Copies of this chain bind each other. A is one copy, B any other.
Amino acid sequence: MKEVRVNEALLASIKGYEKRKAYVSPFAFQPERTIEEAREFKGQVRRTKVLSSLEEAIRKSGLKDGMTISFHHHFRDGDKVLPMVMEVIATMGFKDLRVAASSFTGAHDCMVDYIEKGVVTRIESSGLRGKLAQAISNGVLASPAVIRSHGGRARAIVEGDLKIDVAFLGVPSSDCMGNANGVVGKSVCGSLGYAMVDAQYAKKVVLITDTLVEYPNHPISIPQTQVDFVVEVEEIGDPNGIMSGATRFTKNPKELLIAKNVVKAMIASGYFVDGFSMQTGSGGAALAVTRFIKEEMLKRGISCSYALGGITAAFASLLEEGLVKKIFDVQDFDLGGVASITKNALHQEISADFYASPFNKSAAVNKLDFVVLSALEIDRDFNVNVISGSNGVIRAASGGHSDAAACAKMSIIVAPLLRGRLPIVIDRVTTVVTPGETVDVLVTELGVTVNPLRPDLKANFEKAGMELIEMDSLIERAKFLAGEPKKAEFSDEVVAVVEYRDGSILDVIRKIK
C-alpha cells in the first residue's frame, strides 16, 4: 500500500464507520481465538498443522484444569485414541477435566483410574460400559454423569450447553492441514458422523491419525477450516475391535419370530409404500427385519427412499441392489458398512446433527417412516430403558434411540418377553431413556402390542387381520413365567442424569446399594 487511503478522520466522516478500523497490513487483524502457532508466522499463513507429539498439541491447545475435552467412539471397542491422549494429559498433571465423549466403550476402562486420581471429575456421554459404567453406578463421580442421545448431544453442542474446549479426534487419515476422513488409512472406521459435530464446534481441534496423507486428502469429512493441530501416532485403533466383523444372520427362532411380526406390522401399518424410509439397528431381530423386508419389497416392486442410522452390510447390499435409494450414515457397525461408504456415493456420511438433532431445521430422523429399536426393558407406559440393567447398574447407551422414536411415523420396539429368567416387559423400567408416548408398537415373540395412543395404527392392524396382544397380558405373562422381578436397590445419591433430546431432564440414575 504505502499510501494511506483511509484514516480515522475519513472513517469518522462516514456514518456508521466511526468505530471501524482502517487497513494496516494483510494480517494485522486476527480473531482473538487465533492460536499462537498461527500468530508465530507473523503475517504468513501456516502451511502445516502437524506437530511432533501429543504433548505439544495439548500444550498448544491451551488446555487448562477444569476444561472440557471430547472424543468420539467410531473405533468402538478398538479405540486407542482416548487411552493414549488421557495418559499424556494425566502425565502432564491436568486435573478436574470434564470428558464429553460421544460414547464410552469397553476400550475405556482406564477412565476409572483417571477419575479416582482427580484428572477427570465430570463425564458426559451417550453410553457407559464396562468398568467405567460400574464405577459410576458405585458413585465414583462427585457430579452426576450426563447421558444424552446422539441427537441430544449434537443439540447440546450446537446450542452451547456443552462447550468443548479441546476435541481430540482420532481420524483414519488426515493431511497436514487437517482435512480428514474415516475411509482412507490403516484403521478405517467409515463414517465420522459424531466427530463432525465436535470438529465444527470445539474451540480447539486436535486430529490424531496413523495415516498422514499428501495434501489435499480426499474425501473430506472434517475440513481443514475446523482443525488446529494434527498429530501422527503409531496406531489409532485395533481393526479387530473397531468392527465386530461381518454381521451375521440370526438363527435364533425367537428373534426370527419377532422379525416376522415386525414385518407384518410394517406392511399392515399403511406406511409400507414405495419410497418408505427406515432405520434398524444391528441386533439379531433388526437384521432379520432387513432381510424379510427385502423380500416384501421385491414382491411389491417398491423401494426404500433412504435407510438411516448405524449402518451394516445388510443395508449396504440393499443399496447396491437399488432397493434402498440412499443411505444416511452417522456410524458404521461393520466392515460391510465401511466398504460401502468408501465406494458408493449414494452411501452418504452425515453428522450427528444431520442425523438427529431436534433443534436444527430438520434432521434425517424427521422423515423416518419406520424405526426398529431394541430395549433392555419396556414398561406398561411403553417407556423404554436402554441404559441400565435390571440390577440398576449402568451398562449400555442412549444412542439414537429416543431421537428416532420421537420422529418416526411408526417406532417399533423389538424385545423378547424374557432374557433368561429376567422379565423385559415390566411394570416400570429402571431408567427411562425413550418416553412411552414416542413408542408406537412393541413386538415380542408373542406378537404385536400397540400403544393406546395410536388407535389409528391399531385399526390398520386389525383391518389386516392381525391378532394383537395387550400390554397388560404381556406383563402378566412375563410375571407368570419369571415371577415378580426383583427390584434393584438404590441409595438416594444421583450418579447420572438422563437428558432428553431437547435438554430437559427425563430421569436420573441412582447409586446402587
Enumerate chain A interface residues (CB-CB to B < 8 A): 1-3, 5-6, 10-11, 13-17, 20-31, 34, 45-47, 49, 143-144, 159, 177-178, 205, 214-216, 218-220, 223-228, 275, 305-306, 325-326, 328, 345-346, 348, 353-354, 357-364, 366-367, 381, 383, 406-407, 428, 432, 435-438, 494, 497, 500, 502-508
Bound state CA distance, A11 and B1, in angstroms? 61
User: A231 to nearest B CB, angstroms?
Assistant: 15
Contact A367 to B177, CB < 8 A, known contacts A17-B505, A23-B435, A305-B214: yes
**A178-B3 in contact (CB<8A):** no
Q: Which of B6, B45, B363 contacts A505 (CB 8 A)?
A: B6
**A500 nearest CB neighbor, chain B only:** B23
Count copies of this chain in the complex.
2
User: Is B23 a contact of A360 with CB atoms below 8 Å?
Assistant: no
Task: Report yes or no: B508 in contact with A5, Cβ–Cβ below 8 A.
Answer: yes
26 A-B residue pairs with Cβ-Cβ distance under 8 Å, sorted by A, are A1-B436, A2-B381, A2-B436, A3-B428, A14-B494, A14-B497, A16-B143, A17-B505, A23-B435, A23-B500, A23-B505, A27-B358, A27-B406, A29-B502, A31-B359, A205-B361, A216-B305, A216-B306, A216-B367, A219-B345, A220-B348, A224-B354, A224-B362, A224-B364, A225-B353, A345-B345
Q: Top 9 nearest A-B pairs by Cβ distance? A: A225-B360, A45-B366, A29-B502, A23-B506, A23-B504, A5-B507, A2-B381, A1-B435, A26-B406
- Cβ of A6: which chain B residues have Cβ within 8 Å of it? 505-508
A346 partner residues in chain B, CB cutoff 8 A: 218
Question: Complex formed: what's the CA distance from A354 to B227 in Å?
Answer: 12
Report if A24-B504 is in contact (Cβ < 8 Å); known contacts: A143-B16, A367-B215: yes
The CA of A11 and the CA of B34, in the complex, are separated in Å by 39
Contacts of A348 in B (CB 8 A): 218-220
Nearest to A492 among chain B residues (CB) is B13
Complex Cα distance, B275 from A503, in Å, reads 48
B residues within 8 A CB of A436?
A: 1-2
